[in-house]
Structures are given as C-alpha cells and as structure tokens.
Structure 1
C-alpha cells in the first residue's frame, strides 16, 4: 500500500536530497542534529540515511527511557547503549550474538551479552564495565561514574575491530535533559568524549524543537556549535500534490486535481497527515470533503494529538487552544489577560515544538492538524 500512517518508513517519498546530505555527513564524520516537529518524517529520513550509508549503526530512541513527567531510567539507557553498540560492532566484524530471551529489559539483555563475550571473546575492559553496570543497576546505584567509560565504547570497539566508521544515532535526544537529575554533567561528559572520537559519527534528532535548540544553540551549553543543524520542513505544495496523486493512481482511486488541492490546503505538507488522509480515502471511499470534515474526530488524530498534549501544562494547553481559535496565529495580547502567564505558556509550547515565533511578535502553531483539532471540535 502506498499510504502508510504511523511507523517510520525506510524509503520516504521526496526526501532524496535530505537523505543524500545526511549520508555524506555520516561518512565524513560530521556530527548532525536533525530537527523538526512531530510527524514531519525525521525518523524516516534518519532510518533511510542509516540504511543507505551501509555503515554499522546504532539507533536508540531516548524517549523510551522517560519515566513520568521528569523521570529518566539512566540504568536502562546505559545498558541499551552498551548492548546496541557492542552487538553492532561485533556483528559488523563477523561475530554473531543471539539473545536467548526477547525482552525490553536491557539489563537482562546485557547480562546475556556479558556471557556471550566471556565465552567467545577476550575483552577484559568491556566485560569489567558490564559487570560494574549490572551490579550498580541491580542495587539502584548512581551510574554517573560509568558514563565516561560507556561513551568511549564505540571508539574503543571501532579501533579494536578495524571499523573505519560507525554511526551512533540518538532519536528524541532532548529527553536526555531529564537524566541530568541523576547525572548533572551528562552533556559535558558527552561533548568531552565525542569530540575526540575519530571513527564515530554522532547524529541526534528531536521533535521538541525548542528544547533541542536550547541544547545545541545556547552559548553556555556544552554542545554549542558542535552539531550541524539540519531542519526537516514540511513538503511544499507541489511535492505534497505529487505524493497524493501518485498514491491515488497506484491505489486505483479517482481523486481530481481540485480535491488534491483541498487536501494539501487542509493538512499542509505534513507526511503523517497526508498519509492518513490517503488511507481514509482509499479505504472508506467517501468524498474528500467528508473525509476532511471528519478528520478532527478520527481516533488516530485524537490519540496522536492527545498523547502529545498530555506533556503540556493546563495553561499551555489553554493558550494553544486560543491560538487555534484565531486560525493558528496570534499575538500574546490576544491569548489572555495575564500576559506573564501567556508568555510562560508560549515558552513551553515553543520548547515542546508546538509553536514558533514569527516576525513582529506573532506566534504560529506548526502542525495544522492541531489547529483543526481544537478549532473545529471546539474543545
């Protein structure tokens, strides 16, 4: 099926230029920060680039280790990092590890990894590191002291195994800020190690665009001017129309040019929403205007947007709703009487990637579906 909603695709439409650029950076060792709002296709671009590079790579979603609003499971993250880096490096070098138990617990996985390494290989520094981490994690001890050794692991393995270049990609990187509660110097340690790794390319990505920009663009932050910033933008109108027309042709559905224009005008160039509309038209076989009018009430839209909005404070959600009622754009004075509270809410919306500030003090909602969701449902 041409239209796919939800999971990232390893072959995204219309992103050849971004993929070729990212592959070139990966091969040349250029650290990259891939940035853009949710549902814009960052992970698909990242996945396609990693596959096309033919380099050994590790891809970890940092968001997986977030626990609650401000919690972060550093032990599981460290375990996942070691497990993925080690298995990727050794597999590329010709060794094979097969875990006995398929599990989400990286602490269980790393225990199996330790056994495999002891049986097949003689790498004392790696086995010693894993043993310390297992011992500390099982006793709920702080792993900050092990971070430095853990972060050197890709470079050490690349040198030992003759790997000229490998890639470490951390998706939703901004959530590592939550790990600063248990390891306040985590970004300083990362920068101090990564800048000397000659065989490793580091790629980070994130949808909470404001948070990620704070990490990489603030002069007082360790990663200031470390990454090359690549922004992922929505499709332009022509590319959006090309994507839809090709999909409807492949699926054998007759949708005229005016209807395609109507879809593009409604969802802009966000690939996720273009795919969702395409699926609904192909499956439901209803008129385009009916599909679009029902979209704010679709369970897929509700689940996606409500899941995101749970991260926001009540005041931020209120300001977002008022901004949607204004058509997606507005000034702080139009969003509430308490300007201090409005500005604080806008700051949170910017940090989480829902809103951007335009010229002349105008704030804009990035995702058009959020505008429709609030404005048309009147919630």
Structure 2
C-alpha cells in the first residue's frame, strides 16, 4: 500500500511525498499539491507503480532520478551558506518536482527547453534573473553529473534564457549626493550613506564591519565578512566572491565616519538604536528612501552609491584595474563591462589616437 508523507517547510510551502515499495526497494515521488499526490497514490494501489508512473509520463526504471541526483549534489556542494542550500532545495522541490521523477539519463536538451518554457509561462511570470538563477542551478548539477560520468553531456548547454531589462545604474554628481546627504537628518544614516559612497562597499559588507576591521592610523579597512541569508535569518559569512575579501584605503571622510561610529562602542561599526547591525530595509525606510525624494526624477537605489563611487574614481582617471580591486570584483572584466561607458576620457583618447594616425 502506498502512503503519503506531507511536510511544511520553514518558508511555509508544503510538499507531499508518495511512498511505496517495488521489487523490495523503497520508492517515492514528490508533489507540491495534495490532490495530484492523492491521485497518484490511488493509482499505485489500484494499477501498480509502473502503470501509475506511466500515467505521469514517467517510467520506473530503477535508475538514478534527477531528484536523487539533485539531492546528492546539493548536500555535497562546498563553499555555500545554508541559506543558498535551502534555496536550491526549494528549486528542487518546487520548480523541478516534475522533472525530478525522471531518470537522470532521460533529461535531454528538449526536456530542459520545455521546462524553461513552463517557467516563462507561469502566472505571475518570474523575472528573467529568477529564471536564470534556476537554470544556472540545474545546469551546475547536470554539469557535475557529466563530470561524474552519470550522463554524457550537460543538456543545459546552449539553452537560450529569457532576459529582462536591467534598470539603469544611477551615477550621482557631487551636488546631487550632497542634496540627498543633507536631507538625511538622522546622523547614523547620514554617516552610513557617506561611508557607502566614499568606499564603494556593498551594503552587506559595510554593515558587517567590526571596529577591529578598521585601522584608523593607516586609514585602511579589511573587508572579510558580509551579511547572508542563513537558516534562521541573517548570518555573517564571506563576501560575494574570493576577491571580495580585500583591504581598501579609506579617504579622510570615511576615516572620520569610522572614528565617530567606533566611538559608540558597538559590536559593529554601524548599528541601529538598539545596538544591532543595521538592516537595509531600516536604512531605506528611515533614511535613504525619504532623503532621495529630493532627486525624485532619478530615484537612486542604495546600491547606486557603490556605482557612484566607481564613477568618481574612473572620472578621476584611476586605473580600471585599481577600481576593480577596490570594489572587490572577481574579474576585471566585470568592472570593464559595468563601467566602461563611464570612462569617456579614455574613449576620447582612443578616438583621438586613431584620428592622429589617419591625419
């Protein structure tokens, strides 16, 4: 007799696993909704597992299934935080529930293509970035399967992914930043805004700084932690990439901000009124959001302070390699691709060089 095991995950979503035995082995199939799970269980009991699976378009070949491989892949992935691992499990149990019942060897390029079309047709339609993230997870798992000799090749290779328009970066001029900064009446928020624009640090890096990370005498800051989404909420982890662990030099304005904030004696350089590390939503609601209304036409995001810092450095003819290291980009290509349009002086110099050659 088949049975159903239902459980509710920490994010509030439910899953229903139908369990049965076949040829002396425990078998299972997972469903997101209870009604399909009940129909499948009834078919297993009435028709047998082979016929029940064939109704779903699945054959019970006894081979390693995609779900089983994804589980093994997720559990063995090194270098990721628990929050990322939980996201991958949600992809497996929700977005890949149907494909997961197929044998790993049955996943083809056409299978992946149909899956992508289903994602793009969902209501509400997920963003292009969300679809790319889910495809990247599946592709990584299938690449690992190919390396392990479980399949011949990665069927995700060469798939076309839908894209959405990325919002344009906003680069603030000094007067524009001064307007917003002057509108921030609460000192901790004003100091944090000045820190972000003067250092170019990511918000999660800046708010994870401990006083010991800053050397006021040398005017340097060691970036080695960032806030991540963990099993029970925010937790400290490594920054975004390997090169994001870095030591940066601080301008005098940032040194003064650090001197003021370290004097508060908190565990972190930037803390809220309760002495806890600042959260982005609080900073936006109480400080940045109201203040940026002075530039309503631009509506800069918090992350645009990082873009602004980069644009100011490039505008001052700081070498792109130096800018890349300062920002903690994994590869200089990222910096070039992101900010090359800002460096108009280099572009003008390149055009002038060609003009002189032809002249």
Say whether the fold is shared (TM-score over 0.5). Answer: no
Q: Larger % of helix: which?
A: 1
Structure whose alpha-carbon radius of gyration is higher = 2
Which is bigger in relative contact order (C-alpha 8 A, separation at least 6)? 1
TM-score, structure 1 normalization: 0.31
TM-score, structure 2 normalization: 0.32
